Amino acid sequence: MRVIARKLRQRAKDLGLSHAEIARRAGLAENRFGNYANDERLPDFEAIIRLSAVLDTTPNYLIGFEDIPGPEPGRAHWLARLQAAAAVLADEDLELAVKQIEVLIAHRRQGQPGPAEEEDD
């Protein structure tokens, strides 16, 4: 088995993402991703870049040059993920996503703690 197929499946499992969801987020046909994950085809360079962003890792990890999935994602990573997700949304879904983000911003500006800021009881 090729390293790429194994690592694609492992990252999908780690993140709790289905093959269909990974394909959608990466802008790939579901059967194309399935071919990669089932070791039937090798992804091209562009697909590896897209998949590494969706799977919160690096291309080097997917092709076997690194042992760990990747560094903790920073702002640039999240902005790239947001842009990649937005690129595949239908217009009405994109509108809804923007409204949700605007509600989150307004909530944070009011000084109310968001989910990441709340303390456990």
Per CATH, the architecture of 3-62 is what?
Orthogonal Bundle (1.10)
Task: Residue count of the chain, please give it.
Answer: 121
**In this structure, how many other beta carbons lie within 10 angstroms of the beta carbon of residue 42?**
13
**Structure tokens that stand for 95 in this block:** 């509108």
pLDDT band, residue 66 (cuts 50/70/90): confident
Give the pLDDT confidence of 89-117 residue by residue, as tens digits: 889 999 999 999 999 999 888 876 555 55
| Residues of the chain above pLDDT 90, percent | 53
What are the residue boundaries of the structural domains of the chain, listed by start? Answer: 3-62, 75-109
